[in-house]
Structure 1
């Protein structure tokens, strides 16, 4: 039995690790799933029966990312981690989805964790990336002890500064990726009569210190309509797309679209 660095989502006391799962001093027990993850999302923290991205969205995102369209983003993120991060300290992917970005940060010396509210996504992540630790949980009540992580990153997920700050060590870093003005604008132009560019003027981070900021913009060239369909399916745009437009996209032989990311790196004040 050993301390797991997880917190009980019910009473917020430390969870101890056993072969069968995790338990706290108040006898709350959480089984380790056969895929290797632990579900730390109690019913009272759910807002629906199956919260988070549905299975179709998870599968579409997985198929799209595996084609390498976001590889420049991955290279940028891992480069910043190598430049600023401490590979001896734990890493957290907050809102990790199916773990595609999570495992990119694994080294021989660090421990990497991923948490997401979508059980469908965590199942895939834990089954595929055995070298990382995955849990089902909510970002508003992260199931981790205080000041545990040296690096936390959030890619297209809710950014909750108080909770992120709580689990970061003194001097640790938070990296966020949000859509910049022109992200997927060509795709939006097919769906909306008057497509709006993303508003990037507001930052949800108020207390942490901004140490690095940049935009990453490049053109994605598609020759396979399945890739465009997967891109559409993994975005909220899919709910606004008509049947006729779906058919039009399926018939595309080529399509160009911008990837436009806003990357910010923050540091927690050193004690």
Structure 2
């Protein structure tokens, strides 16, 4: 597994038992859960950035119900196919890894495909990374900013960015030339039934990440994943709501209507793309 880079001076970090230290004397202690916190205090925009503990707990509970397993399988198959035939071992980063559901499943899928890859998961939320540590003991987990990835330049073979903030330059910096980026973002119909319960005017999304990436990445392939699934009790509906930003925007009438639902049929609509670092 590649050495981490010091977030203060970018020098390589040597790993010692329970500690990272660079040649300039900057040191970082390992958390008892096993992750490394490389998010500098002066670079935080809030006291507790990223998803809070309640959102992380809700996301973990919802994902463990398996509703997004088919999506995860498609992501894993797409990346496994794209990486097949490359010289191993490979270095992978799950950027914005959240509580580690997709990361851990990807790690297992690559092993089953016979692809030797070391996986690093990174998220700005310490609550998410603490939960991710329970998903896999073999992956390396980091609390850090995706705008300042603590990895050496041109050190990664692939990055996955699933429903997370797009940062073209930092991603391109740490990818090798020809390295891969697997991107996932919501389609226009994604969870539209839930959104119709929350908003009076549901409009198609104008989000186009591929255009934003075109200067640094070439598109290798794109596909959509679409299927329907059903939540059969209100606890599951509330769990889904709690893991999304929609929960912060609920009007009282919408909250009451959702609280009364005992079943909700939903559409999963997600775009996947594989891009190559120019």
- Report which stretch shifted further, 246-255 or 47-56: 246-255
Q: Distance in 1 between matches of 2:226 and 2:260?
A: 27
Is it true that 1:113 corresponds to 2:124 in the alignment? no
- Structure 2 residue 100 is the aligned partner of structure 1 residue 99: yes
Please, which of 162, 181, 187 is the counterpart of residue 180 of structure 1?
A: 187
Q: Which residue number corresponds to residue 249 of structure 2? A: 240
Q: Distance in 2 between matches of 1:39 and 1:93?
A: 16
Query: Aligned runs of 1:65-214 on 2, under 5 Å?
Result: 65-85=63-83, 86=86, 88-106=89-107, 107-108=110-111, 109-201=116-208, 203=210, 204-206=212-214, 207-214=216-223
1:175 is displaced (CA, Å) by 0.6
1:47 deviates by: 0.2
Q: Aligned to 1:177, what secondary structure does the other structure show? A: strand
Q: Count residues with an aligned counterpart.
A: 267
Report the CA distance shift for 1:19/1:202 in structure 2 as closer, same or farther (over 3 A). closer
Q: Distance in 2 between matches of 1:123 and 1:243?
A: 33
Unpaired segments ≥5 residues, structure 2: none
Once the two structures are TM-superposed, the CA of residue 88 in structure 1 deviates from its matched residue by 2.4
CA distance in 2, matches of 1:264, 1:100: 19
Q: More deviation in 52-61 or 79-88?
A: 79-88
- Asked if structure 1 preserves the Cα contact closer than 8 Å seen for 2:48 and 2:125, the reply is yes
1:4 and 1:17 in contact (8 A); partners too: no
Q: 1:16 is matched with which residue: 3, 14, 17?
A: 14
Moved more, 14-23 or 221-230: 221-230
Q: Name the stretch that deviates more: 172-181 or 203-212.
A: 203-212
Q: Is the 8 A contact 1:139 1:163 kept in 2?
A: yes
* 3-state SS of paired residue (1:267): strand
Structure 1 unpaired stretches of 5+:
none
| Residue equivalent to 2:261 | 252
Q: Give the whole-Å Cα distance in 2 for the aligned partners of 1:20 and 1:78.
A: 32
Q: In the alignment, which residue of structure 2 is the partner of 1:53?
A: 51
8 A Cα contact 2:166 2:209, kept in partner:
no
Secondary structure of residue in 1 paired with 2:101: coil
2:5 — aligned with what?
Answer: 7
Asked if structure 2 preserves the Cα contact closer than 8 Å seen for 1:181 and 1:200, the reply is no
Shift of 1:244: 4.3
Q: Which moved more, 1:51-60 or 1:246-255?
A: 246-255
* In 2: Cα distance, 1:105 partner to 1:21 partner: 27
Cα distance in 2 for partners of 1:196, 1:60 equals 26
Q: Quote the Cα distance in structure 2 between the aligned partners of 1:22 and 1:89.
A: 22
TM-score with structure 1 setting the length: 0.94
Following superposition, which runs of at least 4 residues in structure 1 exceed 6 angstroms of deviation? none
